[in-house]
Structure 1
Amino acid sequence: MSNDTTLVLGATGNTGRRVAARLRLRDTHVRAASRSSRTPFDWFRPADWDQVLQGVTTAYVVPPAVPGPVHEFVARAQAAGVRRLVLLSGHGADDWGDSAFGLDMRSAEDAVRGSTLEWTVLRAANFAQNFVGPPFRAPLAAGELALPAGTVPEPFIDLEDVADVAAAVLSEPGRHAGRVYELTGPRGLTWAEAVELISRASGLPIAYRQVSPAEYTAALVQEGWSEDEAHLLTEMFVLLERGATAWTTDDVATVLGRAPRTFEDFVLRAVAAGAWLR
């Protein structure tokens, strides 16, 4: 077991907890950090960062939902002796143009890619597991998912594949330096096709309905989302409808030597866990 320490930010989140577990199985010394973990980390309390970074050689970075803080974090990491950064970002970020969506991820990429440290960026498509969490699970369980998404496909990526790739990259210094990996599933599905697969496998009557961006924003606000949060999620769907993220890649196979999991595989596991039972 190496004496090097790998810092995992967002360690109680979707990818962070999976990445930390995989690294521990590889006998990597992990410092798991989040606002609610034993090692506290808050993107808006930079005074505490130096202690978190002490003795760290590699860091897995899940950026905050606002642009800016990752720039200071990278500077602090470099000063603390960190040698490698692996950043989670979004699929096709180079093609997002003037979209209001993803400014946080693009800012984080600028910070990491502009540093003198060894870096790797993992750009993930929409997670398949988003269908079992907010804001999609409750409408699916109620029998209808209404989104501003039409016939443009999305190459949903399984979170388990994202975590497998992240753990591999974090464990292989030098091999992935300066690489940007676009992580997608093996094929694209429309959101309506994804809902149909969920309905068929679960045996539940679940329908998909396309709504306008304005209708979707209003529905989110009615559910309790803030105006800003609702607007940003709607902007993601507006961006997806441009086709900016519709393409697939072989990058999961490049890193892992195997194909990514299918959406059907995710659905079967979710149904077995009772994900959409009312």
Structure 2
Amino acid sequence: MTNTANTANTANTANTANTANTANTANTANSLQGTTLVVGGNGKTGRRVTEKLLGQGRPVRVGSRSGEPAPFDWNEPATWGPALEGVDRVYMTYYPDLAFPGAAEQIGAFSQVAVAAGARRLVLLSGRGEEAARLSEEKLKASGADWTVVRASWFNQNFDESFFLEPVLAGEIALPTSDAVEPFIDADDIADVVVAALSDDRHIGRTYELSGPRLLSFSDVAAELSKATGREISYIPVSKEDYRAVLRENDLPEEFADLFTLILDGRNAHLVRGVEEVLGRPPKDFADFAREAAATGVWDV
């Protein structure tokens, strides 16, 4: 998508509705105008969406709790209005998760504020298999926005940028789940889909489910990481109570134990074609992610 958006032929391809690349270009005159607010712009997908939009020469405002560069806090509605000034579209990620209590109310309230401020194009990152997140999606749809929902599977980048970086470095990944399979998705693929949704009117009113190209158990993940790093990395199932203790020790919400147990029960043990549908190409395989991440030295010990 970024390649077509940056070529001189964009104006000629944007009207060709039958090509796979068209879905990845800004085919409306106003798609390249206005500022995009990226809520959670320092996160795994938000950072990538920001980089891709800037690479297309599009103005971006990063909203984050740190206040850099624009203060934005889901728990502080007073920060919403200033962050939305001059904005015509928004990519929304919610911390800690849409399945947490209060998320739907905040998503609904913010969506209404955004639409009233002139930011009608709203793209929401949601989760596959999270029934509690569906209420947030419905609140978005009821706001009057031109909405798109992107439901993603577990991120590959959970293993090199967040939750499981330290466990990988320690050589042991522990989770409160049986060895169910999950179609891990790469954050770059998610970001490409989000940028397409922000850019192309044909994605308005659509819900896309994204997965990677292969179902992997956490034992499979450990094997792929072992191969990429040259070290032995194992997967250890633990009880939910033991995992709660681990979360407390790392200052993370204990509710993640319930969430992980819920969504890793096999409900997402099937592949979907959202990436291919939007981008016209296959998603990245976990093995390719692991090899590329290992080459950066992030897992060196």
Runs of 4+ in 1 over 3 A off after TM superposition: none
The question of 1:206 aligning with 2:233 is answered yes
What residue in structure 1 maps to residue 6 of structure 2? none
Q: Is the 8 A contact 2:177 2:265 kept in 1?
A: no
Alpha-carbon displacement from aligned partner over 1:27-58 (angstroms, at most 9, x marks no partner): 22212221232222121221232222122211
Separation of aligned partners in 1, 2:184 and 2:144: 32
What residue in structure 1 maps to residue 295 of structure 2? 272
The question of 1:225 aligning with 2:251 is answered yes
Alpha-carbon distance change, 111 to 194 in structure 1, aligned in 2, over 3 angstroms:
same
Give the C-alpha shift of residue 151 in structure 1: 2.9
What residue in structure 2 maps to residue 255 of structure 1? 278
Alpha-carbon displacement from aligned partner over 1:238-271 (angstroms, at most 9, x marks no partner): 2134322222101101000000000001100111
Q: Is the 8 A contact 1:158 1:185 kept in 2?
A: yes
Alpha-carbon distance change, 48 to 265 in structure 1, aligned in 2, over 3 angstroms:
same
Q: Within 5 Å, give how 1:10-25 maps onto structure 2.
A: 10-25=40-55
Question: Root-mean-square deviation (CA), in Å?
Answer: 1.7
What residue in structure 1 maps to residue 23 of structure 2? none
Give the C-alpha shift of residue 212 in structure 1: 1.9
Q: How many residues end up aligned between the 2 structures?
A: 264
Letter in 2 for 1:264: A
Separation of aligned partners in 1, 2:280 and 2:250: 43
Separation of aligned partners in 1, 2:77 and 2:246: 36
Separation of aligned partners in 1, 2:95 and 2:174: 27
The question of 1:89 aligning with 2:126 is answered yes
Give the C-alpha shift of residue 272 in structure 1: 0.3
Unaligned runs of 5+ in 1: 97-102
Match of 2:148 among 92, 116, 120: 120
The question of 1:26 aligning with 2:53 is answered no
Separation of aligned partners in 1, 2:80 and 2:54: 23
Give the C-alpha shift of residue 170 in structure 1: 0.8
The question of 1:157 aligning with 2:185 is answered yes
Separation of aligned partners in 1, 2:113 and 2:247: 37
- Select between 251-260 and 9-18 the one with higher mean Cα deviation: 9-18
Q: Is the 8 A contact 1:252 1:260 kept in 2?
A: yes
The question of 1:130 aligning with 2:158 is answered yes
Alpha-carbon displacement from aligned partner over 1:219-252 (angstroms, at most 9, x marks no partner): 333x2435xx12x221123213432222210110
Match of 2:76 among 45, 62, 71: 45
